[in-house]
């Protein structure tokens, strides 16, 4: 099964929006630690998105058939 980079990107963006809402809600509820945890997860999602984008350009993954260009 293969999915597009665009779909993965959209899923990560949706996740980041959910995490941002959680962060704001936590901070409004005076739960700063929970808010900071959500922000850290947003940073992690950005790292994953960047790693996937880099992998899609990698010749290693293309040569092994893991990235298929249409």
pLDDT at 18: 96
**Residue bearing the bigger pLDDT, 69 or 34:** 34
Structural domain count of the chain: 1
Closest CA to 23 of 42, 9, 10: 42
Q: What is the pLDDT of residues 46-65, one digit of tens each?
A: 999 999 988 888 888 888 87
pTM of structure: 0.78
| Rounded Cα distance, 49 and 61, in Å | 16
Helices of type H across the chain: 5-28, 32-57, 59-63
User: Would 68 be classed as within a structural domain?
Assistant: no
Q: Are 12 and 45 in contact (CB under 8 A)?
A: yes
User: Would 70 be classed as within a structural domain?
Assistant: no
User: Would 69 be classed as within a structural domain?
Assistant: no
User: Would 47 be classed as within a structural domain?
Assistant: yes
DSSP secondary-structure letter at 58?
-
């Amino acid at each position: 099964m293969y999915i597009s980079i665009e779909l993965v990107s959209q899923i990560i963006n949706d996740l980041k929006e959910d995490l941002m809402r959680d962060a704001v809600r936590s901070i409004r509820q005076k739960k700063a630690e929970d808010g900071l945890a959500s922000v850290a997860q947003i940073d992690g999602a950005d790292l994953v998105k960047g790693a996937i984008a880099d992998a899609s350009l990698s010749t290693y993954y293309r040569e092994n058939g893991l990235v298929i260009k249409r």
